[in-house]
């Protein structure tokens, strides 16, 4: 509760108590109250006798028993409510005279009561209550004035004067939370004042970052300086705009110099400030486009390097991967086509060489010849293809050199070479066959047919066999 609210509440409570206890209450003379208040606002002295209350208090009855009961009620109320507030007010610390007079009125009341003078006892305790009420009002007013002065001096950046005022306020109300908080602010005021002076210099130098940093330090020391928040927010926005623009420009420059790592770092920093700005989309698009261009260049370079090392399989894989990202790139399409053709020819020739026995077949040999003709256009690009082509050509030449096959028989058996042709019924016959595997079949009526498998080795010059059906059915 504010000091003015406390004062009003105390007055109201006191008036209600007096009305209840004394029925008619006491008619307060405004002029005399003012004179008495002026007296107690002055410095305390060591007077031993209480100053009489210059206000006539009317006791509405002379009934001793009733007066006795009224006094007991008044004393109980005084000790229960008023003395507690007086203890909080700590009167001896700032108005010793008022404290002395109040205590003296109470002692007079107790003394009169013990002597049976209930009317005088009731008047004395009422005087004590009235004087206490005035002292409490003065207490609150003094506190309010000291607190207000301390706050004003704080706002005027006068730490010494503010300290004197807040010390006075805390003397009156040592545990008041608002005063304790204000004291903390005043204790930090010299440091705050120095920082604000530095902030003003930064403003003159147009160093907004320094001023922003200093003002943040000020609000950290004194969070109740809310008047600085608007400027801090404006400075923060200005700095953010500057930083954002700097990051965007740095990112675009890095893209132009093909430094994608630096560009991406700048993009991340810019996003952390304003993630939805159009500039973010522009920079991101430039980075993506440059990344695609660099990936294409890198892929072509890697693929070309593979072709130089005659690794057309690796080159084909590299070109194909790049083509997925750049499906319309004409250069890549041509390179993929070339690498695929050389790789295919190399694989086909390797297959003919690895299974060269098939070359004994004229049809297979013809296809191998056709493959060699196709490969001829690319042998200058691939040493391995040229080497394989030479090896296949040599095999074809050797398979084109027939061996002599001498067939002996009984002039009764009809002989055929499967998939080659008929030999007939002979005693002997010399035929020429390409290297390879053949099956000779002999037939004779009334006799079991005979099959003979032969294998003419590559480079073999001559082979003799006998085919006769001499086992009856």
pLDDT tens column, 86-110: 988 888 888 899 999 999 999 999 9
Question: How far apart (Å, rounded) are the C-alpha atoms in residues 239 and 259?
Answer: 26
Q: Which pLDDT band holds residue 63 (cuts at 50, 70, 90)?
A: confident
Do 374 and 427 sit in the same domain of this protein? no
Do 275 and 142 sit in the same domain of this protein? no
- The domain tally of the chain equals 4
Q: Which pLDDT band holds residue 166 (cuts at 50, 70, 90)?
A: very high
* For residue 146, pLDDT beyond 80: yes
Do 91 and 140 sit in the same domain of this protein? yes
* For residue 12, pLDDT beyond 90: no
Domain containing residue 261: 241-292
* For residue 45, pLDDT beyond 70: no
Do 147 and 94 sit in the same domain of this protein? yes
Residue 132: inside a domain? yes
Q: Rounded to two decimals, what is the model's pTM?
A: 0.52
Residue 166: inside a domain? no
Do 247 and 262 sit in the same domain of this protein? yes
pLDDT of amino acid 325: 84
pLDDT tens column, 357-395: 888 888 999 999 999 999 999 999 999 999 999 999 999
Q: Which pLDDT band holds residue 59 (cuts at 50, 70, 90)?
A: low
- Give the mean pLDDT of 408-436: 94
Do 254 and 273 sit in the same domain of this protein? yes
* For residue 71, pLDDT beyond 80: yes
More confident residue, 7 or 111: 111
pLDDT of amino acid 284: 96
- Give the mean pLDDT of 109-126: 93
Do 415 and 387 sit in the same domain of this protein? no
Do 409 and 383 sit in the same domain of this protein? no
- Give the mean pLDDT of 198-206: 95
Residue 172: inside a domain? no
């Amino acid at each position: 509760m504010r000091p003015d609210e406390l004062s009003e509440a105390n007055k109201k409570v006191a008036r209600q108590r007096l009305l209840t206890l004394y029925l008619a209450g006491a008619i307060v003379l405004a002029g005399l109250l003012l004179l008495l208040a002026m007296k107690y606002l002055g410095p305390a002295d060591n007077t031993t006798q209480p100053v009489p209350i210059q206000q006539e208090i009317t006791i509405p009855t002379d009934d001793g028993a009733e007066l006795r009961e009224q006094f007991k009620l008044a004393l109980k109320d005084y000790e229960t409510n008023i003395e507690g507030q007086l203890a909080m007010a700590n009167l001896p610390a700032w108005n010793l005279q008022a404290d002395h007079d109040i205590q003296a009125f109470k002692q007079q009341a107790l003394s009169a009561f013990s002597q049976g003078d209930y009317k005088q006892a009731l008047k004395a305790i009422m005087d004590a209550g009235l004087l206490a009420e005035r002292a409490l009002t003065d207490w609150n007013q003094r506190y309010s004035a000291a607190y207000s002065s301390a706050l004003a001096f704080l706002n005027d950046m006068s730490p010494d004067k503010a300290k004197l005022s807040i010390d006075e306020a805390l003397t009156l109300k040592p545990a008041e939370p608002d005063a304790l908080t204000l004291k903390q602010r005043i204790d930090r005021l010299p440091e705050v004042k120095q920082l604000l002076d530095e902030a003003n210099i930064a403003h003159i130098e147009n160093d907004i970052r320094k001023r922003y940093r200093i003002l943040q330090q000020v609000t950290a020391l004194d969070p109740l300086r809310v008047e600085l928040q608007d400027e801090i927010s404006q400075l923060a926005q200005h700095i953010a705009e500057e930083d954002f623009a700097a990051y965007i420009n740095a990112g675009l420059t890095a893209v132009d110099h093909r430094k994608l790592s630096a560009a991406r770092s700048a993009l991340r920093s810019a996003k952390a400030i304003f993630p939805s700005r159009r500039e973010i989309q522009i920079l991101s698009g430039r980075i993506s486009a440059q990344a695609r261009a660099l990936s294409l260049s890198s892929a072509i370079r890697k693929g070309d390097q593979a072709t130089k090392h005659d690794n057309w399989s690796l080159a084909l894989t590299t070109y194909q991967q790049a083509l997925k990202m750049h499906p319309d790139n004409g250069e890549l399409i041509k390179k993929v086509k070339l690498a695929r053709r050389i790789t295919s020819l190399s694989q086909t020739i390797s297959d003919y060489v690895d299974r060269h026995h098939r070359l004994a077949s004229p049809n297979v040999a013809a296809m191998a010849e056709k493959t060699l003709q196709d490969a001829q256009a690319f042998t200058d690009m691939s040493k391995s293809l040229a080497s394989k082509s030479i090896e296949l050509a040599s095999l074809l030449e050797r398979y084109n050199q027939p061996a002599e096959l001498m067939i002996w028989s009984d002039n009764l058996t009809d002989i055929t070479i499967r998939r080659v042709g008929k030999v007939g019924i002979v005693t002997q016959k010399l035929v020429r066959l390409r290297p390879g595997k053949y099956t000779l079949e002999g037939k004779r009526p009334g006799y079991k047919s005979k099959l003979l498998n032969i294998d003419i080795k590559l480079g073999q010059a001559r082979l003799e066999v006998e085919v006769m059906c001499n086992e009856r059915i």
